[in-house]
Amino acid sequence: MSNATTHAETVHRVSFLDKDSLAIPILKVLQADGTAYENAVLPVIDETLAKKIHDTCVFTRVLDERMLGAQRQGRISFYMTCTGEEASIVGSTAALDDGDVILAQYREHAALRYRGFTTEQFMNQMFSNEKDLGKGRQMPIHYGSQALNYQTISSPLATQIPQATGVAYSLKRQGKRNIAICYFGEGAASEGDFHAGLNMAAVLNTPVIFFCRNNGYAISTPTDEQFKGNGIASRGVGYGMHTIRVDGNDMLAVLAATQQARAYALEHNAPVLIEAMTYRLGAHSSSDDPSGYRSKEEEAKWQQHDPVKRFKLWMVNKGWMDEQTDSELYVKYREEVLAQLKVAEKVPTPHIDEIISDVYDKPTPILQKQLAELKKHVKKYPEAYPKSAGRI
């Protein structure tokens, strides 16, 4: 038995701990002007990596801007942006090996882009067309790719957390030099699955990074109505795991923390919790209007901490980027996104037969019967089912 209470120091007067008993600093590397803090230890980064990170951020900005617009025009049903959180997402993914498995919440498409998901693939998913890897079964932004080790998004919050522990355990058992990374918001950390997943990860010695995007809001609920403790980081210590809090809008701080977290997780077969302090500059989703729960002044304040701009300034200072190249990249991606959007929205929907595939590995007799009856019905009333009627 190794109960911590058996070797605790004893006291003989009542004395309580509180949330400030544990001081948790915030790691910062980059200042607002794009120069590093004096004495800051930089992550491992060269020009190629910096350009890939920057490229991913620009693409994501453009995608978010265009697809939110497309949603407003009624071309897609739903959208979610990750504006303001790019450093948290890309900075962490850039610290990983491509064989590391990503279990995201939903606002991490920048990580998928970093891994190589093409513009066409993004579009196919959002338009639920027959080229969508997910066969048109989920709302826009629920991406997934086996080839890129990015597990398909599910809408229920925090379910990916204990799953990441399982994935990490499997990687360990398979003898792979890989870890799992699990993204979630500070709101999702209130779910039972958060507790279950982190506790099991620590107890079962699994190489996994739990990456909390503390972006201030769970839809409309601010953090002070979500938890009372010292952020999410304080909980990691409670589970007995290595924990760090970083400035989530500081690309180099996130990269540095995640690089070291990954090395630690692999070497010790142990989980690490990273709490990235950031801000969701956009709405929760295309169905949300933040003006009902936060001020323009607050948003304007956070605009000053734009993580993409800060990192770009650092690259400009290094001589790895200039304003013109940066602007040209935005133009290039705007054209590419628009062009691919126009193609994807004309690709047919998946065939009606796909309605029963993948429920089980093989369609059961009951499903086959239901499909046959459905097709017969659609044939009888083709005008009521225009997407399928012409292709039975």
Partner 1 sequence: MAQMNMLQAINEALSSEMEADQTMTVFGEDVGHFGGVFRATSGLQEKFGRERCFNTPLTEQGIAGFANGLASNGMTAVAEIQFADYIFPAIDQIINESAKFRYRSGGEFDVGGLTFRTPYGGGIAGGHYHSQSPEAYFTQTAGLKVVVPRNPEQAKGLLIASIRDKNPVIFFEPKRLYRASVGEVPEGEHVIELGKAEVVQQGTDITLLGWGAQMEILEQAAEKAAKKGISCEIIDLRTLAPWDVDTVAESVKKTGRLLINHEAPLTGGFAGEIAATIQQECFLYLESPIARVCGLDTPYPLIHEKEYMPDALKTYEAILASVNF
- CA–CA–CA angle 286, 347, 68 (5° rounding): 15
248 binds partner 1 (CB under 8 A): no
Give the 3-state secondary structure of residue 334.
helix
Sheet holding 208-214, edge to edge: 26-27, 242-247, 272-277, 208-214, 180-185, 101-103
- Residues 31, 152, 223, 349: which binds partner 1 (CB under 8 A)? 152
With CB under 8 A as the contact rule, the residue among 199, 214, 285, 340 that binds partner 1 is 199
> Taking CB under 8 A as the rule, does residue 210 contact partner 1?
no
| CA separation, residue 110 to residues 55, 62, 304 (Å) | 10, 11, 21
Cα–Cα dist 63/199, whole Å: 36
Residue 162 or 216: which CB sits closer to partner 1?
Answer: 162
Q: Which segment (45-53, 112-120, 160-168, 230-238) binds partner 1 by CB under 8 A?
A: 160-168
Q: Is 193 a binder of partner 1 (CB under 8 A)?
A: yes
Regarding 365 and contact with partner 1 (CB under 8 A), the answer is yes
Determine which residue in the list 31, 170, 223, 349 makes contact with partner 1, applying CB under 8 A: 170
Is residue 128 part of the contact set for partner 1 (CB under 8 A)?
A: no
Number of residues near partner 1 (by CB under 8 A): 49
Does 151 engage in binding with partner 1 (CB under 8 A)? yes
Which tokens sit at 54? 């920057």
Question: In 204-357, which ranges are continuous DSSP H helix?
Answer: 233-238, 251-268, 296-303, 307-318, 323-344
* Strand runs labelled E in 154-297: 180-185, 208-214, 217-218, 221-222, 242-247, 272-277
168 touches partner 1 (CB under 8 A): yes
Q: Which of 58, 67, 76, 101 binds partner 1 (CB under 8 A)?
A: 101
Q: List the interface residues with partner 1, window 37-76 (CB under 8 A).
A: none
134 binds partner 1 (CB under 8 A): yes
- Binders of partner 1 among residues 2 to 31 (CB under 8 A) are none
> Would you count residue 124 as binding partner 1 (CB under 8 A)?
no
Nearer to partner 1, 111 or 257 (CB): 111
Pairing verdict, β 217-218 and 272-277: unpaired
Q: Which of 19, 52, 137, 342 binds partner 1 (CB under 8 A)?
A: 137
Is residue 374 close enough to count as binding partner 1 by CB under 8 A? no
List strand residue ranges (DSSP E) for the chain, in order.
26-27, 101-103, 180-185, 208-214, 217-218, 221-222, 242-247, 272-277
Judged by CB, which is closer to partner 1: 173, or 296?
173
Residues 6+ apart with CB under 8 A from 80: 106, 107, 141, 282, 284, 285, 286
Helix or strand or coil: residue 9? coil
Q: Is 146 in the site for partner 1 (CB under 8 A)?
A: yes
Q: Does 189 bind partner 1 (CB under 8 A)?
A: no
Shortest Cβ 353–partner 1 spacing (Å):
13
Tell whether residue 144 is a contact of partner 1 (CB under 8 A).
yes
Crossing angle (nearest 10°) for helices 192-203 and 160-173 = 20
Among 81, 105, 145, 234, binds partner 1 (CB under 8 A): 145
Closest CA to 101 of 47, 181, 162: 181
CB of 124 to partner 1, least distance (A): 11
Residues 299-338 close enough to bind partner 1 by CB under 8 A: none
Sole residue written with tokens 């980064």: 45
Site residues, partner 1 (CB under 8 A): 101, 103, 132-135, 137-138, 142, 144-146, 151-152, 154, 156, 159, 161-171, 173-174, 180, 192-193, 195-197, 199-200, 203-204, 357-361, 364-367
